Amino acid sequence: MIEEAIIELLLTIPGVTGIVGQRIYPNIIKEGTQLPAMYVAANRMSKMNCDNPMGIKTGVVEIGVHGAEYWHCSDTIMEMRKVLDDYAGKVSNVGLTFNSGEEVADGWDDDLDTHVKIIEYEGYAIAKSTN
């Protein structure tokens, strides 16, 4: 649910979709996927350990960009950061709050034969009632 909300938000950023189109996936980019493409992984988000009747989750969201050219990755991250850094808002029925993203070392994926750039966001998410 968190991944889907973040993907929905990313799809509203013209600078991102201008590079990766609609190719933004939950968790992984499968071999054979047209590049450039992105993934969003929120599997490091978990329910807060305090009195938390609202079900607030906290943790790290990882967003990765794979591209045949390095600029695909760097420009997509730059465009994404304009919106996600210090973001607070509601997407569909999920409230999201992020701090400024932290980029990790650039990489290369041998299986996909592509550049990889990853950014991590610490944040909070809560599924809001649609009632």
Higher pLDDT, 42 or 118: 118
Indicate if the alpha-carbon torsion angle 55, 58, 59, 60 is positive or negative. positive
Contact (CB, 8 A) for 61 and 72: no
pLDDT of res. 125: 87
- Residues 6 and 92: their CA atoms lie apart, in Å, by 10
pLDDT at 90: 93
Contacts with 89 (C-beta within 8 Å, 6 or more apart), sequence order: 9, 95, 96
Does the pLDDT at position 131 exceed 50?
no
- List, for residues 8-53, the tens digit of each pLDDT value: 999 999 999 999 999 999 999 988 899 999 999 988 877 756 665 6
CATH number of this structure's domain 2-127, picked from the four choices 3.10.20.30, 3.30.2000.20, 1.10.630.10, 3.40.50.1000: 3.30.2000.20
pLDDT in tens, 46-74: 775 666 566 677 889 999 999 999 999 99
Asked whether the predicted pLDDT for residue 98 surpasses 80, the reply is yes
End-to-end CA distance of the chain: 17
pTM, to two decimals: 0.89
